Amino acid sequence: MRTAYDVGKVRDAERVQMARLPEGTLMGRAAAGLAATCARLLGRVYGSRVVLLVGSGDNGGDALYAGERLARRGARVEAVLAGSRTHEGGLAALRAAGGRVSDASALARADLVIDGLVGIGGKGALREPYAGLARETRHVRATVVAVDVPSGVDAGTGQVEGEAVRADVTVTFGAHKTGLLVDPGAAHAGVVELVDIGLDLPDPDVVALQDEDVADLLPRPAPESDKYRRGVVGIAAGSHLFTGAAVLAVGGAVRGGAGMVRYLGPEEPIGLVRARWPEAVTTIDDPAKVGRVQAWVVGPGLGTGEESHRIAAALLKSDVPALIDADGITLASRDRALLRRTAPTLITPHAGELSRLLGVPRERIEARRLEHARRAAEELGVTVLLKGSTTLIAEVDRPVRVNPTGTPWLATGGTGDVLSGLAGALLAGGLSCYDAASAAAYLHGLAARRAATGAPAGLPYGESPISAEDVIARLPEAFRSLIP
């Protein structure tokens, strides 16, 4: 599990550690780790050209001391001093090792650039000359390494206002910062490498599950299992206008390990579900005739008229966990009573749908995803899976979970319906809303990567477009990659 922390908690831990250690120990540890990463990226240090972008704070000192270490190994190190002041000890050490001060023209000659402009305390848009230097890093051929956090990225939220460095690698110290895991900051961080500097940290604010964490969550059938013990999921999705949503949501549930899928919907999508998923048990438009389920999925393609509201209201009165998605969220934005349930409730909005629930502009949610996922969980009393470039799972009094899997090719019609069915199957299998949402998002992302590349899920995704059907087809492989 990868854990991340609020900036204030990291600073508190640093202060405690600095009080115990000789002056400069933590900076020395950070600089050593940064220099080691840079040396590995360069391959051959001797004769390489390294440019340091040095701000006024401790990040500038880290960059200078790392530059000193690289200079002593034969690198040609030049420092661009952007701040109103410079870490005196770091600059003296760099000069003693043969490094020198230069200007921004040195960027054109660099093999590697170290961004030490602004640290974790940076807020708001970069000002000149920092903004101009951040802009220049977009045009260099060099590898760009950020110190602790890319300059221009809010380390606490991932928010980016104006110019920001887009790093190939970010070397962060002591702990991952929240903004390195949440877009848009995550997209600027590149590969994040953690250097342990000996901090004692409290419980995390954000976590990103890894393969072994998700594997531990997944329900597994035992020898005595039958279809009822494995979980019966009910799906109310699709309409005469949106027939495909029914087929995709049912497919996500079938491939997601449900013991049985009961589908409720109009006659036309029922015919398509029967043809594609004959194992599903179908009922036409009467919630009272569906039979017992362990969880409900309500909303994908359901419609937003009076009849859809009637069906949603009837199903959400049940005492079993429910996932509300798509049109179900639109209905809930008009009638908040749909969310006032005694049983656990998971909603799976994208930013536009969450904007309707919270009355907040979509662009503000996209800029501050973490803040609004937490706010929605608190105000609505539900578990929130906020879909998007960074999928977040928020629940009151729990760390926000950031999903690390997926591919931009998931931004295509129908993939959200598949996710809903998959998460519903996991709910019916006994997982909590928090765990079902986390595991479903992870598996969904793994399946999408395999579909996009045709390669094992751990490899980088390529450039192949995918469809929602492709994701369904790859779900068994995603499960097998986690469960030996």
DSSP assignment string, 97-121 = TT-EEE-GGGGGG-SEEEEES--TT
Residue 336 CB: number of other CB atoms within 10 A?
A: 11
Cβ(69)–Cβ(99) under 8 Å?
Answer: no
CA distance 156 to 123: 9
Q: Which residue's entry shows tokens 């760099």?
A: 94
Three state DSSP letters for 19-30: HHCCCCHHHHHH
Cβ(116)–Cβ(55) under 8 Å?
Answer: yes
Q: Which residue's entry shows tokens 């009849």?
A: 307
Q: Omega of the bond prior to 361 within 30 degrees of 0, cis?
A: no
- Identify the pLDDT of residue 455: 56
**Residues annotated within a binding site:** 58-62, 115, 119-125, 130, 148, 151, 245, 301, 350, 387-391, 416-417
Residues 223-261: pLDDT tens digits? 877 788 889 999 999 999 999 999 999 999 999 999 999
- Identify the pLDDT of residue 463: 61
- Identify the pLDDT of residue 458: 47
- Identify the pLDDT of residue 73: 97
**Residues annotated within a binding site for AMP:** 387-391, 416
CA distance 178 to 153: 11
3-state secondary structure of 304: coil
Cβ(239)–Cβ(308) under 8 Å?
Answer: yes
Residue 361 CB: number of other CB atoms within 10 A?
A: 11
- Identify the pLDDT of residue 224: 77
- The backbone torsions φ and ψ at residue 323, rounded to the nearest 5 degrees and listed phi first, read -105, 130
Q: Which of 51, 233, 37 is nearest to 142 (CA)?
A: 51
Write the DSSP symbol of residue 126: P
Cβ(235)–Cβ(261) under 8 Å?
Answer: yes
CA 284, 285, 287, 289: dihedral to nearest 10 degrees?
A: -30
**Residues annotated within a binding site for K(+):** 59, 115, 151
**Residues annotated within a binding site for (6S)-NADPHX:** 58-62, 119-125, 130, 148, 245, 301, 350, 417
Which residues 6+ apart lie within 8 Å of 154 measured at CB? 122, 123, 160, 161, 179, 185
CA distance 323 to 383: 9
Q: Which of 280, 284, 329 is nearest to 303 (CA)?
A: 329
Three state DSSP letters for 406-466: CCHHHCCCCHHHHHHHHHHHHHHCCCCHHHHHHHHHHHHHHHHHHHHHCCCCCCCCCCCCC
Q: Which residue's entry shows tokens 């009094």?
A: 397
Q: Which residue's entry shows tokens 């015919």?
A: 271
Structure tokens at 54: 């040095």
- Identify the pLDDT of residue 462: 53
Q: Apex CA 364: angle with CA 361 and CA 365, to 5°?
A: 90
CA distance 206 to 270: 41
Cβ(91)–Cβ(83) under 8 Å?
Answer: no
pTM of whole model > 0.85?
yes
- The backbone torsions φ and ψ at residue 101, rounded to the nearest 5 degrees and listed phi first, read -90, 140
Low-confidence ranges of the chain (pLDDT < 70): 455-463
- Identify the pLDDT of residue 334: 96
3-state secondary structure of 467: coil
Residues 52-106: pLDDT tens digits? 999 999 999 999 999 999 999 999 999 999 989 999 999 999 999 999 999 999 9
- Identify the pLDDT of residue 461: 45
CA distance 76 to 329: 58
Q: Which residue's entry shows tokens 């595991």?
A: 439
Q: Which residue's entry shows tokens 């919630």?
A: 287
CA distance 346 to 383: 5
Q: Omega of the bond prior to 287 within 30 degrees of 0, cis?
A: no
Which residues 6+ apart lie within 8 Å of 193 measured at CB? 37, 169, 170, 171, 172
Identify the bridge partners of residue 80 per DSSP, sorted by sequence position: 53, 102
Which residues 6+ apart lie within 8 Å of 275 measured at CB? none
Structure tokens at 272: 């398509």
Give the chain's domains with CATH numbers: 2-204 (3.40.50.10260), 211-482 (3.40.1190.20)
Q: Which of 164, 203, 211 is nearest to 186 (CA)?
A: 164
3-state secondary structure of 244: helix
